Amino acid sequence: MTDIARLAGVHVSTVSRALAGSPLVEAGKRRRIVQLAREHGYVVNPVARSLRLQRTQMVSVAIPLQHEAGQPLTDPFFVAMLGHLAEAITQRGYGLNLQKVVLPTHEWLAEIIASGRSDGVVVIGQSTEHDTLQQVAAAYLPLVVWGAQIPGQRYCTVGSDNPGGARAAVRHLLKAGRRRIVFLGDPTGPELRQRYEGYERALREAPRGTAPPRRVSAHLTPDAAYTAVCECLRAGDRFDAVFAASDVIAISAIRALVNEGRAVPQEVAVVGFDDISLAAHTTPSLTTIRQDVEQGARTLVDLLFRRMEGEETPSVVLPAELIVRESAPG
């Protein structure tokens, strides 16, 4: 900037003002300075700017992942969320600082905040970190979390209507005449727990003769789900429908079923959760509960910026919609 000032024959402060578009500096001079800066490929140093302004124009996006579950950063839903967050954050002229958090880690959130690398934090997925979030949120406002809303929660979440979505999925299966519906997935973390609860509730409301809730445990990875379903089938388990906690494991479940000689959807219907972009394109295509990632991301960012301004924002629950496709026709 000193260089530009010298070239323009003015003081740095004038350059600073000109580049900030201040009306204080004479229009002609301002244009000349801006032009000069462009010619020389000069852009203001955001580090120095941040130090001076005490704000970084950065948002941290933290993704807590269970190490033991081997959960990679490749879950398509999280990733779609990340993409849309990048979009929304960039649109506001902010940068995105990506933090992959491998649990269990001590004080990960406090450290992200204390480091001052960002003006606000988005956490994608509560995972098992409800307590951490509770604690940190007490003293730090600009924090929003994608996830489930939990009674007594003190932090701000945006998330889908997990129980409602799950219930809609199971009711759809019941209406199609299915009576032995298993839940595939591990209800670790509030979101999946709520999906399980929705599943249970729908079964409680089911016609007589419907089999009671039954869970097939599996981490949210393709391999885990595949293995779990195979074992279950070989153990002679009988069911005519699967409600999977996510699309990724629903797809694995279909493969396991077909490989073990069960026709999908004729013998076993499958419903997933998320509506990832591939869901419409698998064979058979996947009946699922859509979470609107794009709106979710926009809402998260919107709330975050309001919190960055000091506003106390409430949590938001977005509708989750049943999408009927081939794996569980109507």
Partner DNA sequence: ATGAAAGCGCTAACAA
Partner DNA sequence: TTGTTAGCGCTTTCAT
Q: Contact with a copy of itself (CB under 8 A): which of 14, 16, 99, 194?
A: 99
Distance CA 20, CA 90 (A): 19
The nearest distance, CB 48 to a copy of itself, in angstroms, is 5
Calculate ∠ Cα 9-14-15, nearest 5°.
75
What is the Cα–Cα distance from 138 to 301, expressed in whole angstroms?
Answer: 20
Cis peptide before 46 (omega within 30 of 0): no
Residue in 251, 252, 229 with CA at minimum distance from that of residue 182? 229
Counting residues that bind DNA (by CB under 7 A) gives: 23
| Helices within the chain (DSSP H only) | 2-8, 12-19, 27-39, 46-53, 76-91, 108-114, 130-137, 162-175, 190-204, 222-234, 247-259, 293-308
Site for a copy of itself in 216-275 (CB under 8 A): 222, 226, 248, 251-252, 254-255, 258, 264
Residue 35 partner contact from DNA, a copy of itself, none using kind-dependent CB cut-offs of 5 to 8 Å: none
Query: Which of a copy of itself, DNA, none sits in contact with 216, Cβ below 5 to 8 A by type?
Result: none
Q: Is 52 exposed, middle or buried (0-12, 13-18, 19+ CB in 10 A)?
A: exposed
The yes or no reply on residue 42 touching a copy of itself (CB under 8 A) is yes
CA distance 224 to 248: 11
Confirm if 121 and 143 have CB atoms less than 8 A apart: yes
For DNA, the binding residues in 61-100 under the rule CB under 7 A are none
Token pair in block for residue 224: 């885990």
CB-nearer residue toward a copy of itself: 153 or 246: 246
* Interacting positions 4-63 with DNA (CB under 7 A): 10-14, 16-17, 19-20, 24-26, 29, 44-45, 48-49, 51-54
97 binds, among a copy of itself, DNA, none (CB under 5 to 8 A by kind): a copy of itself
DSSP character at residue 254: H
Name the phi and psi angles at 316, rounded to 5: -130, 135
Q: What are phi and psi of 138, to 5 degrees?
A: -60, -30
266-305: contacts with a copy of itself (CB under 8 A) = 277-278, 280-285
> Does 41 participate in binding a copy of itself (rule CB under 8 A)?
yes
Q: Which does 99 bind (CB under 5 to 8 A by kind): DNA, a copy of itself, none?
A: a copy of itself
The contact pattern for DNA, residues 248-267, with x = CB under 7 A and - = no contact, is --------------------
Q: Which is nearer to DNA, 25 or 218 (CB)?
A: 25
Tokens of 181: 């519906």
Return residues touching a copy of itself (CB under 8 A).
41-43, 45-48, 50-51, 56, 61, 72-74, 76, 79-80, 82-83, 86-87, 90, 95-100, 110-111, 114-117, 222, 226, 248, 251-252, 254-255, 258, 264, 277-278, 280-285
Residues lying near DNA in the complex (CB under 7 A) = 1-2, 10-14, 16-17, 19-20, 24-26, 29, 44-45, 48-49, 51-54
